[in-house]
Structure 1
Amino acid sequence: MNIQLEKHDDLNLTVIIALGKSDYQEKVGKEVKRIQKTANIKGFRLGKAPMGMVQKMYGKGIIADEIQRMASDAMNNYIEENKLDILGYPIASNKVESQIDIDGSEDFSFAFDCGLAPQFELSVSKKDTLEQFDITVTDKEVTDDINYSRKRHGKMLDIEAAEEEDVIYANVDELNEDGTVLDGGLIDKNISFVSSLIEDQNVKKSVLGKKVGDQFNADIKTLLNNNETVISNTLGIAKEGVNDLSSNFSVTVTEIKRRIDAEINEEYYKEVFGDLQIPKNEEEYREKIKANLENYYRNESDLWLDHQIGHLLMGKHGINLPDEFLKRWLITTKENEYTFENIDEKYAEEKSALQRRLVIDKIAAQSDLKSSEAEIREEARIYFLGLYRQYGLNIPMNDAFLDESINKKLAEREFVMQMADRVIYRKAYDAVKELITIKAKKISVEDYFTQVNAHKSAHGE
């Protein structure tokens, strides 16, 4: 066996593995003998077929399998012995042609392309300055949060005549220009809308004051603000059919609902706080809400600092990658997701994630960051608590159901690796905070969101 390396540049190389008959002959011979003992060939008793016949029937297939396995093993050993820091896995070369002619030769060569991880130094220091926001919660934010909660816990009441914020439920039929029902049109469709959201002022005025049972004609597209998605979803039709709708619909009001804010009383406190200790009075309630908001915005500030650190790390490390190799590797190894047609569009996201991963790995190596079993379990707990809260489930940290969910997922290797990565990312960002300068800045809630939204708009986030 002979192994040669062709380095094309700092990020790309080809490994050529040459195999002669002497490399594989013994193993092929043993495999032929093994097959002979169990071969069931017509005209011969089980295991008694001549060796030459078995060789003729199975030899080429055995050689093909054996040289492929030997080349693959040799490639993996070469990477390990030479400590090659590769990205992805080796793939068949498109730079050097492999020589695999089972029928015409006894010598073979396999050429594998490899993409190398770029070499770079971590480039962050105390000269790099980021702001951490100290977000001030005022009475306005407390009142807004309470008002939102009162609406959320309020009741929907039947109303006689529609006002701006009422929800109007109606039955609609598509009409001809002369007001007759359109043959083949939309019939008996139930819709709902809110007067205050109607952009056309004339249509809005025509809706206000309507009562249950009232009928009026309207352009359904104008009623729903010419929003193709809303119209499609409301009427249950494809977006392509929206333009073909008649401009004349009969609208019959079937129901009018108004949300009445919940009154602040003991019943409301029990509904809001559940099994938690309920406030004794409105002053204590406001104090609880303020404390909750301060915790929320403290967490928001931490998350935003991490977001800024991510931008800093990417901006300070212009990492080049073996792009052409990685695109081919993705198409080869994830053929259900990546094709020659979509790879350029999808690769940008993969590239950004890999660049970030390389920087995190550099920080982890430099700071000797590890993830322990206890840290992985705790990360899984945080993961599941966040997941359940998305569905409105507030589960205690020591809940048996939560523990069961964690234990079940931690039996999956891929999930354990995912949680370990999250631990390392968290530690790496904490390590960066020690390397750079962080200045505290007091800021109002309104100004915080103004800055965040401006940043996201500038970066297309």
Structure 2
Amino acid sequence: MKSTLNKTNDVNGTIVIELEKADYQEKVDKSLNQYRQRANIPGFRQGKVPKSLIQKLYGKAVLVDEINKIVSDEIGNFIRDNKLKVLGEPLPADNLDEEIDLEKEEVLKFSFDVALTPEFDLNLDKNVELTSYKIQLEPELFERQMDAYKQNYGTYVSVEEEAKDTDLLKGTLVEMDGDNEKENGQVIENAILMPSYIKDEETKNSFIGAKVGDSVVFNPRKAYDNNEAEIASLLQTTKENVADIHSDFRFDINEVTRYKEAEMNQELFDKVLGEGTATTEEEFRTKVEAELVKQFNPDVDHLFIHEARDIIVKMMEEVTFPDELLKRWLLAADEKRTAEEIEEDFPKILEDLKFQIAKQKIVEENEIKVEFTDIEALATEVARAQFAQYGMTNLPADVLQNYTKSLLEKEETVRSLFDRATENKLIDWLKENVTVIEKEITSKDFSELMSGHMHEHGEGEHAEEHTHDEEVVSDNITDTEEEADPTEKPTRKRKTSTQK
């Protein structure tokens, strides 16, 4: 077997594979023998079918299959052994006018066009300026968060005062028959209601101002506007059981409880940040502000790397790419896309591809490595950030650990974390090697800036609707100097020109 690369130019080439009979005949014979052992043909015992019949029935199909396997493996081996960086995947050459005659030709030739990654330089030094935003929280936003903590960690306490509409009233519900308790009527111990949930204003007002020891007679159907779900909840039963209940009930108030906000004290500090993390209100407020600002970091980094992308793409403006071959590959890779659609989208695809290649170049040349410990740390950070969105900032260690573990059990999530960890290290490298212009901005203005950016670039909830071809191309950059990255997408099975 002989394989060669014929380069048309620096970014286009053709891999030619020449096979002689000796390269495949042994494998073909082995496969045919396996067919013979398994074949169940009328008139012959299993395993005793004549070789000539097996050859006649399966010979060509087995030959084609084995040659395809050999050629497919050889393409991958040739690319790896010669340290070629290939964009997309090799495609059967366009200049093959005739199908190969497997039975007559002594030497079989297979040609595959390959798109080669161009060589280029990136001058990323202190002459390059990138913006990094420093978020300043508006005082009202910060105070709202402080109020939210006090609300979230508050408790209900018993009061002797007159009831307010937002108080919880606890007591006993007794079914009435006129002015008397109904014989064999319902009695609900530990009944609870809140006046603010009562729909009928007259009934609601009869509870507001009531005290412990008072009794209020009311009709649940009137109070809750015949909503059987709410009536059933009050009477601690099911909707079906309240269908025929129209009686009045007396509510004997045994306790009035009022929600009391948490005080700004050590107990609140420990609940929000963890035990002993802050010991004074000033320290608590400082740490909370830092945590809130930290939640903007992913978006700050996103804008930073996007600005870097624009600069890098401009630097690569004159770099030649194998445009036509890439278009062919994109068309072959997605049967739903038309040539016209790919032609229209190609400028955007090429920009994204340039940036992907540039990132890979920076990572390789500067030996930027991502270890599994980096992925684990990022997974923990992601988990903590997700809980923080719901105000859960002080998670028990075992809860955070278990949630992080569940993230790392998903292959797709691990791949995403690997990409993020790589980009985070790339950002760190850029910040060390270019000039970073730090720009202060309020959280409100930054949110508006980010919203405008996402709208302009089609990101956010509709981002998935945009073409993913550039990701597919970049994911199939074959750099065989190292082992294949386990986070990469599996490549498609190549077809040789013997396949129809």
Mark yes or no: TM-score above 0.5. Answer: yes
Quote the offset at 1:431 in angstroms. Answer: 0.7
Q: Aligned AA for 1:118?
A: P
What SS does structure 1 have at the residue aligned with 2:80? helix
Following the alignment from structure 1 to structure 2, what is the Cα–Cα distance between the partners of residues 42 and 446?
80
Tell me the residue number matched to 1:68. 68
Quote the offset at 1:86 in angstroms. Answer: 1.0
Tell me the residue number matched to 2:307. 311
Following the alignment from structure 1 to structure 2, what is the Cα–Cα distance between the partners of residues 10 and 264?
73
What SS does structure 2 have at the residue aligned with 1:48? coil
Match of 1:406 among 404, 407, 420: 404
Question: Is residue 150–residue 263 contact of structure 2 (8 Å, CA) maintained in 1?
Answer: no
Tell me the residue number matched to 1:242. none
Tell me the residue number matched to 1:276. 272
Q: Quick check: 42-51 or 393-402, which moved more?
A: 393-402
Question: If you compute each CA radius of gyration, which structure gives the higher value, 1 or 2?
Answer: 2
Question: Is residue 150–residue 263 contact of structure 1 (8 Å, CA) maintained in 2?
Answer: no
1:318-357 CA-partner distances (Å, limit 9, x unpaired): 445434434443444455x756575456666654443332
Change (3 A) 1:297 1:413: closer
Tell me the residue number matched to 2:87. 87
Following the alignment from structure 1 to structure 2, what is the Cα–Cα distance between the partners of residues 277 and 387?
16
Following the alignment from structure 1 to structure 2, what is the Cα–Cα distance between the partners of residues 329 and 160?
69
Question: Is residue 36–residue 49 contact of structure 2 (8 Å, CA) maintained in 1?
Answer: yes
Question: Is residue 99–residue 108 contact of structure 1 (8 Å, CA) maintained in 2?
Answer: no
Following the alignment from structure 2 to structure 1, what is the Cα–Cα distance between the partners of residues 56 and 425?
61
Following the alignment from structure 1 to structure 2, what is the Cα–Cα distance between the partners of residues 45 and 396?
73
Question: Is residue 136–residue 443 contact of structure 2 (8 Å, CA) maintained in 1?
Answer: yes
Matches within 5 A, 1:54-203: 54-97=54-97, 99-102=99-102, 105=105, 107-137=107-137, 139-143=139-143
Quote the offset at 1:456 in angstroms. Answer: 6.3
Tell me the residue number matched to 2:420. 422
Q: Aligned AA for 2:419?
A: D
1:381-402 CA-partner distances (Å, limit 9, x unpaired): 2233334455x37365664344
Question: Is residue 138–residue 444 contact of structure 2 (8 Å, CA) maintained in 1?
Answer: no
Tell me the residue number matched to 2:383. 384
Tell me the residue number matched to 1:300. 296
Quote the offset at 1:70 in angstroms. Answer: 1.4
* Aligned residue-pair number: 357
TM-score of the two chains, using structure 1 as the length reference: 0.62
Following the alignment from structure 1 to structure 2, what is the Cα–Cα distance between the partners of residues 71 and 146?
66
Quote the offset at 1:426 in angstroms. Answer: 0.8
Question: Is residue 301–residue 427 contact of structure 2 (8 Å, CA) maintained in 1?
Answer: no
Quote the offset at 1:64 in angstroms. Answer: 0.7
What SS does structure 1 have at the residue aligned with 2:30? helix
Q: What residue ranges of structure 2 are gaps of 5+ in the alignment?
A: 154-165, 167-195, 202-224, 226-257, 275-279, 460-500
Tell me the residue number matched to 1:370. 369
What SS does structure 2 have at the residue aligned with 1:108? strand
Following the alignment from structure 2 to structure 1, what is the Cα–Cα distance between the partners of residues 123 and 61?
53
Change (3 A) 1:142 1:3: closer
Give the structure, 1 or 2, with the largest relative contact order (CA under 8 Å, sep 6 or more): 2
Q: Aligned AA for 1:296?
A: L
Question: Is residue 273–residue 393 contact of structure 2 (8 Å, CA) maintained in 1?
Answer: no
Following the alignment from structure 2 to structure 1, what is the Cα–Cα distance between the partners of residues 373 and 362?
22
Change (3 A) 1:144 1:108: same
Following the alignment from structure 2 to structure 1, what is the Cα–Cα distance between the partners of residues 420 and 273?
34
Change (3 A) 1:16 1:297: same
CA RMSD of aligned residues (A): 4.4
Following the alignment from structure 1 to structure 2, what is the Cα–Cα distance between the partners of residues 403 and 277?
17
Percent of aligned pairs with the same amino acid: 28
Q: Aligned AA for 2:47?
A: G
Tell me the residue number matched to 2:464. none
Change (3 A) 1:39 1:135: closer
Quote the offset at 1:435 in angstroms. Answer: 0.4
Quote the offset at 1:78 in angstroms. Answer: 1.2
1:11 aligns with 2:7: no
Q: Quick check: 60-69 or 402-411, which moved more?
A: 402-411
Following the alignment from structure 1 to structure 2, what is the Cα–Cα distance between the partners of residues 454 and 395?
29
Question: Is residue 131–residue 305 contact of structure 1 (8 Å, CA) maintained in 2?
Answer: no
Q: Aligned AA for 2:437?
A: K
